[in-house]
């Protein structure tokens, strides 16, 4: 019989604690304990987690459930303040963010690279250029390109490899010619 009354007391204490009024009470207590408003809900969540974890050890004969919850709140707030003492924040001046849009020089250089690449692709053998443009520039799957061209897939992969190598050679040759022209112009 004594066991039933203890379980009844625990059930009544549970109903009194885990309700919206106590949620507001915990937030008020945290405010009085000096927890900043911006951190209060997070710390309150820790209070409720600790209360839920320690609920099996709660004994209603030792005191009112609100008093027990207040003790947990004081304990969690104390740990919050201890952690805050070790937290270091460095305030810095506002950082001047540069405009993400490219400037005129960068745009001209980009256009120059693009034009040079297009010219280099146009210098390729038409069979090699077809595979490179269809697959790498237009995004058509190699199987579809092979079907459209009526060629074996392995042949197209070989042509694509040759096309990439030839494109590298053309761009490399232009780079060395440009370097040579710049050196001659400086003399």
| Domain harbouring 8, CATH code | 1.10.1740
For residues 70 and 139, membership in a common domain is answered with no
- Last residue of one domain, picked from the residues 68, 85, 102: 85
Same domain, 80 and 146: no
Residue 121 near residue 132, CB atoms below 8 Å: yes
Instruction: Write out the DSSP string of 93-142.
Output: PPP-PPPSS--HHHHHHHHHHHHHHHHHHHTS-HHHHHHIIIIIIT---H
Same domain? 8 vs 79: yes
Q: How far apart are CA 187 and CA 183, in angstroms?
A: 7
- Does 103 reside within a domain? no
Confidence bin at 177 (pLDDT 50/70/90): low
Residue 55 included in any domain = yes
Q: 20 and 75: one domain?
A: yes
Same domain, 76 and 128: no
Most confident of 15-19, 133-137, 171-175: 133-137
- Quick one: 127 and 75 in the same domain? no
Determine the structural domain holding residue 132 and report its residue range: 111-186
Asked whether residue 177 falls in the same domain as residue 115, the answer is yes
Query: Which residue, chain included where needed, has tokens 């947990």?
Result: 72
The per-residue pLDDT for 180 is 47
Within a domain: residue 99? no
Verify that 9 and 55 share a domain, yes or no: yes
Please check whether residue 135 lies inside any domain of the structure.
Answer: yes
Reading the block at residue 115, the tokens are 């034009």
Flag whether the pTM goes above 0.85.
no
Three-state DSSP state, 56:
helix
């Amino acid at each position: 019989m004594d066991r039933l009354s203890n379980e009844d007391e625990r059930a009544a204490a549970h109903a009194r604690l885990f309700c919206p009024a106590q949620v507001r009470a915990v937030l008020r207590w945290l405010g009085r304990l000096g927890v900043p408003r911006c951190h209060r809900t997070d710390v309150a969540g820790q209070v409720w987690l600790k209360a839920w974890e320690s609920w099996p050890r709660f004994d209603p004969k030792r005191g009112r459930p609100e008093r027990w919850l207040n003790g947990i709140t004081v304990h969690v707030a104390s740990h919050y303040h201890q952690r805050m003492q070790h937290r270091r924040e460095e305030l810095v001046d506002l950082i001047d963010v540069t405009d993400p849009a490219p400037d005129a020089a960068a745009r001209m250089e980009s256009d120059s690279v693009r034009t040079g690449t297009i010219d280099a692709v146009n210098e390729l053998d038409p069979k090699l250029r077809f595979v490179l443009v269809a697959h790498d520039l237009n995004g058509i799957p190699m199987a579809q390109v092979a079907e459209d061209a009526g060629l074996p897939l392995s042949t197209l992969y070989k042509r694509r490899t040759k096309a990439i190598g030839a494109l590298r050679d053309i761009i490399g040759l232009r780079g060395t010619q440009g370097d040579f022209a710049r050196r001659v112009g400086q003399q």
